[in-house]
Protein backbone atom coordinates (compact mmCIF):
# COMPACT_ATOMS: atom_id res chain seq x y z
CA UNK A 1 0.00 0.00 0.00
CA UNK A 2 1.21 3.52 -0.82
CA UNK A 3 1.10 5.91 2.14
CA UNK A 4 1.82 9.62 1.57
CA UNK A 5 3.56 11.43 4.42
CA UNK A 6 4.13 15.13 4.98
CA UNK A 7 5.18 17.56 7.69
CA UNK A 8 6.38 21.05 8.35
CA UNK A 9 9.72 21.79 10.04
CA UNK A 10 8.33 21.16 13.53
CA UNK A 11 7.04 17.77 12.48
CA UNK A 12 10.01 16.77 10.32
CA UNK A 13 11.79 14.50 12.83
CA UNK A 14 8.59 12.68 13.80
CA UNK A 15 7.64 12.26 10.14
CA UNK A 16 11.00 10.57 9.52
CA UNK A 17 10.32 8.17 12.39
CA UNK A 18 6.87 7.31 11.00
CA UNK A 19 8.33 6.90 7.52
CA UNK A 20 10.80 4.31 8.82
CA UNK A 21 7.96 2.47 10.58
CA UNK A 22 5.87 2.34 7.41
CA UNK A 23 8.81 0.98 5.46
CA UNK A 24 9.41 -1.75 8.02
CA UNK A 25 5.72 -2.67 7.80
CA UNK A 26 6.10 -3.24 4.06
CA UNK A 27 4.36 -0.10 2.78
CA UNK A 28 5.57 2.14 -0.05
CA UNK A 29 6.14 5.62 1.34
CA UNK A 30 5.60 8.75 -0.74
CA UNK A 31 7.50 11.41 1.20
CA UNK A 32 6.08 14.75 0.04
CA UNK A 33 8.22 16.86 2.38
CA UNK A 34 9.49 18.77 4.03
CA UNK A 35 12.96 17.27 3.76
CA UNK A 36 14.75 19.10 6.56
CA UNK A 37 14.32 21.16 9.73
CA UNK A 38 14.43 24.61 8.09
CA UNK A 39 11.29 26.73 8.46
CA UNK A 40 8.54 25.98 5.92
CA UNK A 41 4.77 26.51 5.60
CA UNK A 42 2.60 23.56 6.70
CA UNK A 43 -0.29 24.18 4.21
CA UNK A 44 1.98 23.31 1.28
CA UNK A 45 2.65 19.81 2.59
CA UNK A 46 -0.87 19.22 3.90
CA UNK A 47 -2.25 20.07 0.48
CA UNK A 48 0.29 17.84 -1.29
CA UNK A 49 -0.62 14.84 0.87
CA UNK A 50 -4.33 15.61 0.54
CA UNK A 51 -4.13 15.80 -3.24
CA UNK A 52 -2.18 12.53 -3.42
CA UNK A 53 -4.84 10.74 -1.36
CA UNK A 54 -7.80 12.37 -3.11
CA UNK A 55 -6.42 11.51 -6.55
CA UNK A 56 -5.74 7.91 -5.58
CA UNK A 57 -1.98 8.25 -5.89
CA UNK A 58 -1.78 7.16 -2.25
CA UNK A 59 -4.23 5.01 -0.31
CA UNK A 60 -3.72 6.87 2.97
CA UNK A 61 -1.83 9.85 4.36
CA UNK A 62 0.03 10.88 7.51
CA UNK A 63 0.57 14.55 8.43
CA UNK A 64 2.55 16.12 11.28
CA UNK A 65 3.04 19.71 12.40
CA UNK A 66 3.66 21.26 15.81
CA UNK A 67 0.12 20.86 17.13
CA UNK A 68 -1.44 18.81 14.34
CA UNK A 69 -4.25 21.34 14.10
CA UNK A 70 -2.93 23.30 11.13
CA UNK A 71 -2.27 20.31 8.88
CA UNK A 72 -5.65 18.76 9.70
CA UNK A 73 -7.51 21.95 8.77
CA UNK A 74 -5.48 22.42 5.59
CA UNK A 75 -5.85 18.81 4.47
CA UNK A 76 -9.61 18.86 4.97
CA UNK A 77 -9.89 21.67 2.44
CA UNK A 78 -9.06 19.11 -0.27
CA UNK A 79 -12.22 17.47 -1.56
CA UNK A 80 -12.23 13.75 -0.84
CA UNK A 81 -9.97 14.00 2.20
CA UNK A 82 -11.15 13.06 5.68
CA UNK A 83 -8.28 14.10 7.92
CA UNK A 84 -8.50 13.34 11.64
CA UNK A 85 -6.40 14.87 14.41
CA UNK A 86 -5.54 12.18 16.98
CA UNK A 87 -3.81 12.26 20.35
CA UNK A 88 -4.13 8.64 21.50
CA UNK A 89 -4.45 5.13 20.11
CA UNK A 90 -8.20 4.85 20.76
CA UNK A 91 -8.93 7.99 18.77
CA UNK A 92 -6.73 6.74 15.93
CA UNK A 93 -8.63 3.47 15.69
CA UNK A 94 -12.02 5.18 16.00
CA UNK A 95 -11.30 7.59 13.15
CA UNK A 96 -10.95 4.60 10.85
CA UNK A 97 -13.79 2.49 12.22
CA UNK A 98 -16.38 5.27 12.49
CA UNK A 99 -15.18 8.06 10.18
CA UNK A 100 -13.24 6.19 7.47
CA UNK A 101 -10.44 8.75 7.91
CA UNK A 102 -7.94 8.55 5.07
CA UNK A 103 -5.42 10.95 6.63
CA UNK A 104 -4.21 10.85 10.23
CA UNK A 105 -2.72 13.98 11.81
CA UNK A 106 -0.89 14.54 15.07
CA UNK A 107 1.25 17.17 16.75
CA UNK A 108 4.96 16.66 17.25
CA UNK A 109 4.94 19.01 20.26
CA UNK A 110 2.53 16.73 22.12
CA UNK A 111 3.24 13.26 20.71
CA UNK A 112 6.22 11.05 21.49
CA UNK A 113 7.73 8.96 18.73
CA UNK A 114 6.58 5.79 20.47
CA UNK A 115 2.99 7.03 20.76
CA UNK A 116 2.99 8.16 17.13
CA UNK A 117 4.10 4.71 16.00
CA UNK A 118 1.40 3.01 18.08
CA UNK A 119 -1.29 5.37 16.75
CA UNK A 120 -0.27 4.77 13.15
CA UNK A 121 -0.28 1.00 13.62
CA UNK A 122 -3.72 1.04 15.28
CA UNK A 123 -5.04 3.35 12.58
CA UNK A 124 -3.72 1.18 9.75
CA UNK A 125 -5.04 -1.96 11.38
CA UNK A 126 -8.57 -0.68 11.97
CA UNK A 127 -11.21 -1.16 9.28
CA UNK A 128 -14.23 0.96 8.44
CA UNK A 129 -17.33 -0.55 10.05
CA UNK A 130 -19.84 0.91 7.59
CA UNK A 131 -23.49 0.64 8.68
CA UNK A 132 -24.84 3.82 10.23
CA UNK A 133 -21.38 5.40 9.88
CA UNK A 134 -21.53 5.06 6.09
CA UNK A 135 -24.74 7.07 5.96
CA UNK A 136 -23.22 9.86 8.02
CA UNK A 137 -20.18 10.02 5.78
CA UNK A 138 -22.39 10.28 2.69
CA UNK A 139 -24.30 13.10 4.36
CA UNK A 140 -21.02 14.90 5.07
CA UNK A 141 -19.99 14.50 1.44
CA UNK A 142 -23.26 16.04 0.25
CA UNK A 143 -22.73 19.02 2.57
CA UNK A 144 -19.20 19.52 1.22
CA UNK A 145 -20.38 19.30 -2.38
CA UNK A 146 -23.08 21.87 -1.68
CA UNK A 147 -20.59 24.30 -0.16
CA UNK A 148 -18.35 23.85 -3.20
CA UNK A 149 -21.17 24.66 -5.64
CA UNK A 150 -22.12 27.72 -3.59
CA UNK A 151 -18.55 29.04 -3.59
CA UNK A 152 -18.25 28.59 -7.36
CA UNK A 153 -21.54 30.43 -7.95
CA UNK A 154 -20.48 33.33 -5.74
CA UNK A 155 -17.15 33.55 -7.53
CA UNK A 156 -18.84 33.57 -10.93
CA UNK A 157 -21.40 36.18 -9.85
CA UNK A 158 -18.69 38.54 -8.61
CA UNK A 159 -16.44 38.01 -11.62
CA UNK A 160 -13.63 36.57 -9.52
CA UNK A 161 -13.64 32.95 -10.68
CA UNK A 162 -10.00 31.93 -10.52
CA UNK A 163 -8.48 30.54 -13.69
CA UNK A 164 -6.53 27.39 -12.89
CA UNK A 165 -2.87 26.91 -13.81
CA UNK A 166 -0.05 29.41 -14.01
CA UNK A 167 -0.40 30.43 -17.70
CA UNK A 168 -3.84 32.03 -17.98
CA UNK A 169 -2.48 35.10 -19.81
CA UNK A 170 -0.45 32.91 -22.16
CA UNK A 171 -3.53 30.82 -22.90
CA UNK A 172 -5.39 33.93 -24.01
CA UNK A 173 -2.53 35.38 -26.05
CA UNK A 174 -1.11 32.24 -27.66
CA UNK A 175 -3.07 29.01 -27.19
CA UNK A 176 -0.57 27.02 -29.24
CA UNK A 177 2.40 27.83 -27.00
CA UNK A 178 0.20 27.46 -23.92
CA UNK A 179 -0.59 23.96 -25.15
CA UNK A 180 3.13 23.22 -25.52
CA UNK A 181 3.75 24.32 -21.94
CA UNK A 182 0.82 22.30 -20.61
CA UNK A 183 1.89 19.18 -22.49
CA UNK A 184 5.46 19.51 -21.27
CA UNK A 185 4.24 19.82 -17.69
CA UNK A 186 2.27 16.64 -18.25
CA UNK A 187 5.31 14.87 -19.66
CA UNK A 188 7.46 15.88 -16.70
CA UNK A 189 4.77 14.73 -14.28
CA UNK A 190 4.14 11.38 -15.97
CA UNK A 191 7.68 10.31 -16.92
CA UNK A 192 10.53 9.20 -14.66
CA UNK A 193 12.97 11.98 -15.59
CA UNK A 194 16.49 10.51 -15.34
CA UNK A 195 18.60 12.69 -17.62
CA UNK A 196 21.57 13.51 -15.38
CA UNK A 197 21.68 17.19 -16.40
CA UNK A 198 17.99 17.85 -15.67
CA UNK A 199 16.18 18.76 -12.47
CA UNK A 200 13.03 20.51 -11.25
CA UNK A 201 13.29 24.07 -9.96
CA UNK A 202 11.22 25.43 -7.12
CA UNK A 203 8.19 27.57 -7.86
CA UNK A 204 10.08 30.48 -6.27
CA UNK A 205 12.85 30.16 -8.86
CA UNK A 206 10.25 30.05 -11.64
CA UNK A 207 8.49 33.13 -10.29
CA UNK A 208 11.73 35.12 -10.24
CA UNK A 209 12.63 33.94 -13.75
CA UNK A 210 9.20 35.01 -15.01
CA UNK A 211 9.14 38.35 -13.20
CA UNK A 212 9.11 41.97 -14.40
CA UNK A 213 12.90 42.01 -14.09
CA UNK A 214 12.91 40.62 -17.64
CA UNK A 215 12.03 44.17 -18.78
CA UNK A 216 15.22 45.81 -17.47
CA UNK A 217 18.37 46.45 -19.47
CA UNK A 218 21.47 46.63 -17.24
CA UNK A 219 24.74 46.53 -19.17
CA UNK A 220 27.69 46.72 -16.80
CA UNK A 221 27.87 45.80 -13.13
CA UNK A 222 26.13 46.99 -9.93
CA UNK A 223 26.95 50.64 -9.30
CA UNK A 224 28.53 50.96 -12.74
CA UNK A 225 25.80 50.53 -15.36
CA UNK A 226 25.36 52.07 -18.79
CA UNK A 227 21.62 52.51 -18.15
CA UNK A 228 19.62 54.35 -15.53
CA UNK A 229 16.96 52.85 -13.29
CA UNK A 230 19.09 49.92 -12.15
CA UNK A 231 18.91 50.43 -8.39
CA UNK A 232 16.69 47.39 -7.82
CA UNK A 233 18.29 44.99 -10.28
CA UNK A 234 21.65 46.04 -8.81
CA UNK A 235 20.48 44.65 -5.48
CA UNK A 236 19.41 41.38 -7.11
CA UNK A 237 22.85 40.92 -8.66
CA UNK A 238 24.61 41.87 -5.43
CA UNK A 239 22.59 39.25 -3.55
CA UNK A 240 23.40 36.62 -6.16
CA UNK A 241 27.13 37.37 -5.97
CA UNK A 242 27.23 37.46 -2.18
CA UNK A 243 25.26 34.23 -1.84
CA UNK A 244 27.20 32.20 -4.37
CA UNK A 245 30.55 33.29 -2.91
CA UNK A 246 29.39 32.25 0.55
CA UNK A 247 27.94 28.99 -0.77
CA UNK A 248 31.20 27.84 -2.37
CA UNK A 249 33.80 29.83 -0.42
CA UNK A 250 34.92 31.71 -3.54
CA UNK A 251 36.99 34.89 -3.59
CA UNK A 252 35.19 36.33 -6.63
CA UNK A 253 32.02 35.54 -8.54
CA UNK A 254 30.51 36.65 -11.82
CA UNK A 255 26.84 35.64 -12.06
CA UNK A 256 26.09 37.13 -15.49
CA UNK A 257 27.00 34.29 -17.92
CA UNK A 258 23.97 33.14 -19.88
CA UNK A 259 25.07 29.49 -19.85
CA UNK A 260 27.75 27.07 -18.78
CA UNK A 261 29.28 27.19 -22.26
CA UNK A 262 29.49 30.98 -22.07
CA UNK A 263 31.07 30.71 -18.62
CA UNK A 264 33.73 28.38 -20.05
CA UNK A 265 34.40 30.74 -22.97
CA UNK A 266 34.89 33.63 -20.54
CA UNK A 267 37.25 31.56 -18.39
CA UNK A 268 39.35 30.44 -21.36
CA UNK A 269 39.60 33.89 -22.93
CA UNK A 270 40.70 35.30 -19.58
CA UNK A 271 43.74 33.00 -19.70
CA UNK A 272 44.38 32.08 -23.34
CA UNK A 273 45.05 33.70 -26.70
CA UNK A 274 43.93 32.06 -29.94
CA UNK A 275 46.15 29.08 -30.71
CA UNK A 276 47.25 28.49 -27.11
CA UNK A 277 47.09 24.94 -25.78
CA UNK A 278 44.40 23.63 -23.45
CA UNK A 279 44.23 20.07 -22.15
CA UNK A 280 40.83 18.62 -21.20
CA UNK A 281 39.04 15.30 -20.81
CA UNK A 282 37.94 13.74 -24.11
CA UNK A 283 34.21 14.03 -24.82
CA UNK A 284 33.88 10.29 -25.49
CA UNK A 285 35.54 9.59 -22.14
CA UNK A 286 33.14 11.79 -20.18
CA UNK A 287 34.24 15.35 -20.95
CA UNK A 288 32.20 18.14 -22.55
CA UNK A 289 32.01 19.83 -25.95
CA UNK A 290 33.48 23.00 -24.47
CA UNK A 291 36.57 21.16 -23.22
CA UNK A 292 38.22 21.33 -26.63
CA UNK A 293 36.05 19.38 -29.06
CA UNK A 294 37.00 20.32 -32.64
CA UNK A 295 33.45 21.39 -33.63
CA UNK A 296 33.15 23.71 -30.61
CA UNK A 297 34.59 27.21 -30.14
CA UNK A 298 37.06 25.71 -27.66
CA UNK A 299 38.53 23.50 -30.38
CA UNK A 300 38.29 26.13 -33.10
CA UNK A 301 39.97 28.97 -31.20
CA UNK A 302 42.58 27.03 -29.26
CA UNK A 303 44.95 24.12 -29.76
CA UNK A 304 42.94 21.50 -27.92
CA UNK A 305 44.50 18.34 -26.51
CA UNK A 306 42.75 15.56 -24.62
CA UNK A 307 43.42 13.02 -21.92
CA UNK A 308 41.43 9.81 -21.50
CA UNK A 309 40.45 7.35 -18.79
CA UNK A 310 42.40 4.15 -18.21
CA UNK A 311 41.10 1.24 -20.29
CA UNK A 312 41.07 -1.17 -17.33
CA UNK A 313 39.82 1.00 -14.45
CA UNK A 314 37.77 3.40 -16.62
CA UNK A 315 38.95 6.20 -14.34
CA UNK A 316 41.49 8.99 -14.81
CA UNK A 317 45.12 7.89 -14.45
CA UNK A 318 46.71 10.97 -12.90
CA UNK A 319 50.25 9.67 -13.40
CA UNK A 320 49.58 9.30 -17.12
CA UNK A 321 47.97 12.74 -17.18
CA UNK A 322 51.04 14.23 -15.51
CA UNK A 323 53.33 12.76 -18.15
CA UNK A 324 51.06 13.99 -20.95
CA UNK A 325 50.97 17.49 -19.48
CA UNK A 326 54.76 17.54 -19.16
CA UNK A 327 55.08 16.60 -22.84
CA UNK A 328 52.48 19.05 -24.16
CA UNK A 329 52.94 21.98 -21.71
CA UNK A 330 49.34 23.32 -21.98
CA UNK A 331 48.63 26.84 -20.84
CA UNK A 332 45.30 25.72 -19.33
CA UNK A 333 44.47 22.37 -17.71
CA UNK A 334 40.72 21.69 -17.69
CA UNK A 335 38.97 19.38 -15.22
CA UNK A 336 35.32 18.47 -14.97
CA UNK A 337 33.00 16.32 -17.04
CA UNK A 338 29.50 15.64 -18.30
CA UNK A 339 29.60 11.85 -17.88
CA UNK A 340 32.26 10.89 -15.33
CA UNK A 341 30.81 9.09 -12.28
CA UNK A 342 33.78 9.35 -9.93
CA UNK A 343 35.35 11.98 -7.68
CA UNK A 344 38.25 13.99 -9.05
CA UNK A 345 41.64 14.20 -7.34
CA UNK A 346 41.82 17.98 -7.15
CA UNK A 347 45.16 17.94 -5.32
CA UNK A 348 46.70 15.90 -8.14
CA UNK A 349 45.24 18.26 -10.75
CA UNK A 350 46.67 21.25 -8.86
CA UNK A 351 50.07 19.60 -8.64
CA UNK A 352 50.11 18.79 -12.37
CA UNK A 353 49.06 22.34 -13.32
CA UNK A 354 51.75 23.84 -11.10
CA UNK A 355 54.41 21.52 -12.50
CA UNK A 356 53.78 22.66 -16.08
CA UNK A 357 52.86 26.27 -15.30
CA UNK A 358 49.22 25.92 -16.37
CA UNK A 359 46.11 27.68 -15.11
CA UNK A 360 43.74 25.13 -13.55
CA UNK A 361 40.11 25.56 -14.63
CA UNK A 362 37.43 23.20 -13.35
CA UNK A 363 33.93 22.87 -14.82
CA UNK A 364 31.72 21.66 -11.94
CA UNK A 365 28.42 22.10 -13.78
CA UNK A 366 27.22 18.57 -13.05
CA UNK A 367 28.20 18.37 -9.39
CA UNK A 368 27.76 21.98 -8.21
CA UNK A 369 24.64 21.20 -6.18
CA UNK A 370 26.29 18.20 -4.57
CA UNK A 371 29.27 20.40 -3.67
CA UNK A 372 26.96 23.07 -2.23
CA UNK A 373 25.18 20.42 -0.17
CA UNK A 374 28.39 18.90 1.19
CA UNK A 375 27.83 15.58 -0.61
CA UNK A 376 30.80 15.97 -2.97
CA UNK A 377 34.32 17.42 -2.54
CA UNK A 378 34.74 21.02 -3.69
CA UNK A 379 37.17 22.06 -6.43
CA UNK A 380 37.10 25.72 -5.39
CA UNK A 381 40.03 25.67 -2.90
CA UNK A 382 42.30 23.98 -5.45
CA UNK A 383 41.51 25.74 -8.72
CA UNK A 384 42.26 29.14 -10.21
CA UNK A 385 38.86 29.34 -11.90
CA UNK A 386 35.71 27.25 -11.44
CA UNK A 387 32.76 27.43 -13.82
CA UNK A 388 29.29 25.99 -13.49
CA UNK A 389 25.75 26.01 -14.70
CA UNK A 390 23.03 26.96 -12.22
CA UNK A 391 20.51 24.32 -13.25
CA UNK A 392 21.36 20.59 -13.02
CA UNK A 393 22.12 19.69 -9.38
CA UNK A 394 21.85 23.32 -8.21
CA UNK A 395 18.12 23.26 -9.10
CA UNK A 396 18.19 26.84 -10.33
CA UNK A 397 17.37 28.56 -13.64
CA UNK A 398 19.27 27.79 -16.81
CA UNK A 399 22.41 29.93 -16.64
CA UNK A 400 26.09 30.03 -15.75
CA UNK A 401 28.56 31.39 -13.20
CA UNK A 402 32.32 31.90 -12.99
CA UNK A 403 34.09 31.67 -9.63
CA UNK A 404 37.75 32.60 -9.32
CA UNK A 405 40.68 33.70 -7.25
CA UNK A 406 40.96 37.47 -6.98
CA UNK A 407 43.97 37.42 -9.32
CA UNK A 408 41.65 36.54 -12.22
CA UNK A 409 38.65 38.67 -11.20
CA UNK A 410 39.30 41.73 -13.35
CA UNK A 411 40.05 39.72 -16.49
CA UNK A 412 36.93 37.58 -16.06
CA UNK A 413 34.64 40.55 -15.53
CA UNK A 414 36.02 42.33 -18.61
CA UNK A 415 35.74 39.20 -20.74
CA UNK A 416 32.12 38.74 -19.66
CA UNK A 417 31.23 42.35 -20.44
CA UNK A 418 32.01 43.85 -22.86
CA UNK A 419 34.03 40.88 -24.14
CA UNK A 420 31.46 38.13 -24.69
CA UNK A 421 28.04 39.40 -23.58
CA UNK A 422 26.01 42.58 -23.65
CA UNK A 423 23.03 43.07 -21.37
CA UNK A 424 22.69 40.50 -18.60
CA UNK A 425 19.43 38.62 -18.01
CA UNK A 426 18.36 40.27 -14.77
CA UNK A 427 15.32 38.04 -14.26
CA UNK A 428 17.58 34.98 -14.48
CA UNK A 429 20.17 36.53 -12.17
CA UNK A 430 17.40 37.10 -9.61
CA UNK A 431 16.36 33.46 -10.01
CA UNK A 432 19.99 32.44 -9.50
CA UNK A 433 20.00 34.39 -6.23
CA UNK A 434 16.92 32.46 -5.12
CA UNK A 435 18.50 29.11 -5.94
CA UNK A 436 21.72 30.02 -4.09
CA UNK A 437 19.66 30.84 -1.00
CA UNK A 438 17.77 27.55 -1.32
CA UNK A 439 21.04 25.64 -1.72
CA UNK A 440 22.34 27.03 1.57
CA UNK A 441 19.50 25.46 3.58
CA UNK A 442 19.81 22.23 5.60
CA UNK A 443 17.11 20.50 3.58
CA UNK A 444 19.16 21.04 0.42
CA UNK A 445 22.12 19.28 2.04
CA UNK A 446 19.78 16.39 2.86
CA UNK A 447 18.63 16.38 -0.77
CA UNK A 448 22.24 16.26 -2.03
CA UNK A 449 23.08 13.31 0.21
CA UNK A 450 19.94 11.49 -0.89
CA UNK A 451 20.77 12.16 -4.55
CA UNK A 452 24.09 10.32 -4.18
CA UNK A 453 22.50 7.55 -2.09
CA UNK A 454 19.91 7.08 -4.82
CA UNK A 455 22.54 6.82 -7.56
CA UNK A 456 24.44 4.21 -5.57
CA UNK A 457 21.26 2.20 -4.87
CA UNK A 458 20.28 2.27 -8.54
CA UNK A 459 23.79 1.29 -9.58
CA UNK A 460 23.85 -1.68 -7.23
CA UNK A 461 20.53 -2.94 -8.60
CA UNK A 462 21.70 -2.58 -12.21
CA UNK A 463 24.86 -4.53 -11.38
CA UNK A 464 22.66 -7.28 -9.92
CA UNK A 465 20.87 -7.40 -13.28
CA UNK A 466 24.15 -7.85 -15.13
CA UNK A 467 24.66 -4.35 -16.52
CA UNK A 468 28.19 -2.99 -16.90
CA UNK A 469 28.70 0.34 -15.15
CA UNK A 470 31.64 2.41 -16.34
CA UNK A 471 34.21 2.48 -13.50
CA UNK A 472 32.09 -0.08 -11.63
CA UNK A 473 29.72 2.37 -9.94
CA UNK A 474 29.39 6.02 -8.95
CA UNK A 475 30.45 8.63 -6.40
CA UNK A 476 27.98 11.26 -7.56
CA UNK A 477 24.54 11.65 -9.15
CA UNK A 478 25.02 9.76 -12.39
CA UNK A 479 25.65 6.32 -13.82
CA UNK A 480 27.23 5.60 -17.18
CA UNK A 481 26.03 2.22 -18.46
CA UNK A 482 28.02 0.36 -21.13
CA UNK A 483 25.50 -1.76 -23.04
CA UNK A 484 27.97 -3.67 -25.19
CA UNK A 485 27.43 -6.92 -23.28
CA UNK A 486 23.65 -6.52 -23.67
CA UNK A 487 23.95 -6.35 -27.47
CA UNK A 488 21.90 -3.17 -27.77
CA UNK A 489 22.87 0.38 -28.74
CA UNK A 490 22.37 3.40 -26.54
CA UNK A 491 19.95 4.81 -29.10
CA UNK A 492 17.72 1.73 -29.00
CA UNK A 493 17.87 1.50 -25.20
CA UNK A 494 16.88 5.17 -24.91
CA UNK A 495 13.80 4.47 -27.05
CA UNK A 496 12.95 1.31 -25.09
CA UNK A 497 13.08 3.17 -21.79
CA UNK A 498 10.98 6.00 -23.17
CA UNK A 499 8.31 3.42 -24.01
CA UNK A 500 8.24 2.25 -20.38
CA UNK A 501 8.11 5.79 -18.99
CA UNK A 502 11.78 6.48 -18.20
CA UNK A 503 13.67 9.35 -19.84
CA UNK A 504 17.45 8.94 -20.24
CA UNK A 505 19.94 9.89 -22.94
CA UNK A 506 22.16 7.79 -25.16
CA UNK A 507 25.81 8.45 -24.38
CA UNK A 508 29.20 7.43 -25.67
CA UNK A 509 31.30 5.30 -23.34
CA UNK A 510 35.11 5.15 -23.15
CA UNK A 511 36.63 3.55 -26.25
CA UNK A 512 33.21 3.47 -27.94
CA UNK A 513 33.19 2.12 -31.50
CA UNK A 514 29.68 3.32 -32.37
CA UNK A 515 28.81 6.74 -33.81
CA UNK A 516 27.80 9.56 -31.41
CA UNK A 517 24.17 9.40 -32.61
CA UNK A 518 24.06 5.66 -31.89
CA UNK A 519 26.50 5.05 -29.00
CA UNK A 520 27.12 1.99 -26.86
CA UNK A 521 25.82 3.46 -23.62
CA UNK A 522 23.22 5.44 -21.73
CA UNK A 523 23.64 8.03 -18.99
CA UNK A 524 21.26 7.89 -16.04
CA UNK A 525 20.90 10.52 -13.30
CA UNK A 526 18.98 10.77 -10.03
CA UNK A 527 18.61 14.55 -9.35
CA UNK A 528 15.09 15.07 -10.72
CA UNK A 529 13.57 12.02 -9.05
CA UNK A 530 15.30 12.89 -5.78
CA UNK A 531 13.64 16.31 -6.01
CA UNK A 532 10.29 14.52 -6.37
CA UNK A 533 11.02 12.81 -3.03
CA UNK A 534 12.03 9.36 -4.21
CA UNK A 535 14.57 7.33 -2.25
CA UNK A 536 16.67 4.16 -2.54
CA UNK A 537 13.64 1.85 -2.50
CA UNK A 538 12.20 3.58 -5.55
CA UNK A 539 15.63 3.51 -7.25
CA UNK A 540 15.81 -0.24 -6.83
CA UNK A 541 12.33 -0.54 -8.31
CA UNK A 542 13.42 1.61 -11.25
CA UNK A 543 16.47 -0.60 -11.72
CA UNK A 544 14.09 -3.53 -12.08
CA UNK A 545 12.04 -1.62 -14.66
CA UNK A 546 15.17 -0.75 -16.66
CA UNK A 547 16.25 -4.40 -16.66
CA UNK A 548 12.71 -5.43 -17.51
CA UNK A 549 12.65 -3.10 -20.50
CA UNK A 550 15.73 -4.76 -21.95
CA UNK A 551 14.29 -8.21 -21.30
CA UNK A 552 10.97 -7.16 -22.91
CA UNK A 553 12.55 -5.54 -25.97
CA UNK A 554 10.53 -7.89 -28.20
CA UNK A 555 7.42 -7.98 -25.96
CA UNK A 556 5.13 -4.96 -26.35
CA UNK A 557 2.62 -6.16 -23.74
CA UNK A 558 5.34 -6.57 -21.13
CA UNK A 559 6.61 -3.07 -21.87
CA UNK A 560 3.10 -1.69 -21.38
CA UNK A 561 2.98 -3.32 -17.94
CA UNK A 562 6.34 -1.76 -17.08
CA UNK A 563 5.03 1.65 -18.13
CA UNK A 564 2.16 1.20 -15.68
CA UNK A 565 4.71 0.61 -12.91
CA UNK A 566 6.55 3.80 -13.89
CA UNK A 567 3.29 5.75 -13.89
CA UNK A 568 2.45 4.46 -10.40
CA UNK A 569 5.79 5.74 -9.11
CA UNK A 570 5.13 9.15 -10.68
CA UNK A 571 1.68 9.30 -9.12
CA UNK A 572 3.04 8.39 -5.69
CA UNK A 573 5.47 11.34 -5.87
CA UNK A 574 3.49 14.13 -7.58
CA UNK A 575 5.33 16.94 -9.33
CA UNK A 576 4.13 20.54 -8.93
CA UNK A 577 0.74 19.67 -7.40
CA UNK A 578 0.16 23.42 -6.97
CA UNK A 579 0.01 24.00 -10.74
What is the DSSP track for 149-189? HHHHHHHHHTT-PPPPSS-HHHHHH-HHHHHHHHHHHHHHH
Give catalytic status of residue 389 as yes or no. Answer: yes
pLDDT tens-digit readout, 463-481: 999 999 999 999 999 999 9
In eight-state DSSP terms, residue 59 is: S
Rounded to an integer, the average pLDDT of 184-195 is 97
Q: Which domains does the chain have, with CATH numbers?
A: 2-129 (3.40.1400.10), 208-439 (3.40.640.10), 442-572 (3.90.1150.10)
Rounded to an integer, the average pLDDT of 255-260 is 98
At residue 473, the pLDDT reads 98
At residue 157, the pLDDT reads 41
Choosing from 118, 245, 322, 398, which is the catalytic residue? 398
Is a pLDDT exceeding 90 seen at residue 187?
yes
Choosing from 8, 31, 314, 363, which is the catalytic residue? 363
At residue 366, the pLDDT reads 98
Q: Identify the H or E element spanning 244.
A: helix 231-248
Average pLDDT, the chain: 93
Choosing from 28, 201, 387, 389, which is the catalytic residue? 389
Rounded to an integer, the average pLDDT of 201-216 is 97
Q: What torsion do the CA atoms of 346, 247, 222, 229 make, to the nearest 10 degrees?
A: 140
Report d(CA 5, CA 45) in Å as an integer.
9
pLDDT tens-digit readout, 297-317: 999 999 999 999 999 999 999
Is a pLDDT exceeding 70 seen at residue 482?
yes
At residue 163, the pLDDT reads 37
Choosing from 25, 144, 217, 328, which is the catalytic residue? 217
Give catalytic status of residue 217 as yes or no. Answer: yes
At residue 131, the pLDDT reads 63
Please say whether the beta carbons of 449 and 371 come within 8 A: no
At residue 166, the pLDDT reads 60
Grade residue 135 by pLDDT with cuts at 50, 70 and 90: low
In eight-state DSSP terms, residue 57 is: S
Is a pLDDT exceeding 50 seen at residue 240?
yes
At residue 137, the pLDDT reads 55
Choosing from 15, 216, 350, 392, which is the catalytic residue? 392
pTM for the model: 0.76
Q: What percent of the chain shows pLDDT beyond 70?
A: 94
Rounded to an integer, the average pLDDT of 114-125 is 96
What number of helices (H) and strands (E) belong to the chain? 22, 20
Please state which of the ranges 28-37, 60-69, 285-294, 439-448 shows the lowest mean pLDDT.
28-37
Rounded to an integer, the average pLDDT of 216-223 is 98
pLDDT tens-digit readout, 149-160: 444 443 334 333
Closest CA relative to residue 199, chosen from 435, 364, 31: 435
At residue 168, the pLDDT reads 78
In eight-state DSSP terms, residue 9 is: G
At residue 167, the pLDDT reads 74
Say how many Å lie between the first and final Cα of the chain, rounded: 26
Is a pLDDT exceeding 70 seen at residue 361?
yes
Give catalytic status of residue 392 as yes or no. Answer: yes
At residue 150, the pLDDT reads 44
Amino acid sequence: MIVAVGADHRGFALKERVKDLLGREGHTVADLGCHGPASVDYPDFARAVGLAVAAGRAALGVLVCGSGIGVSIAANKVRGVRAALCCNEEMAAATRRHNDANVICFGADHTSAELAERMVLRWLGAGFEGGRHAGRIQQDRRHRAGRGRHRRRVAADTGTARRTGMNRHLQAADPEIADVVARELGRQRDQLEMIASENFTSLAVMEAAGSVLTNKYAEGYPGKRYYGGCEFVDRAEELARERVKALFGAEHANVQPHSGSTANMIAYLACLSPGDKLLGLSLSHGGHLTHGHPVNFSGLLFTALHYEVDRETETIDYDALREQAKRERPKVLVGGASAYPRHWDYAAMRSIADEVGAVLIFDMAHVAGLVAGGAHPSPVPFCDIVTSTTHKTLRGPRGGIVLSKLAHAEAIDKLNFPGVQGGPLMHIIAAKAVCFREAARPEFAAWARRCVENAKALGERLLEHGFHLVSGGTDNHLLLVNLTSKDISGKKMEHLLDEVGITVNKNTVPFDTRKPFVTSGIRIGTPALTTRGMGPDQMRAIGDIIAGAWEAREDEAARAALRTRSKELCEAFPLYPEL
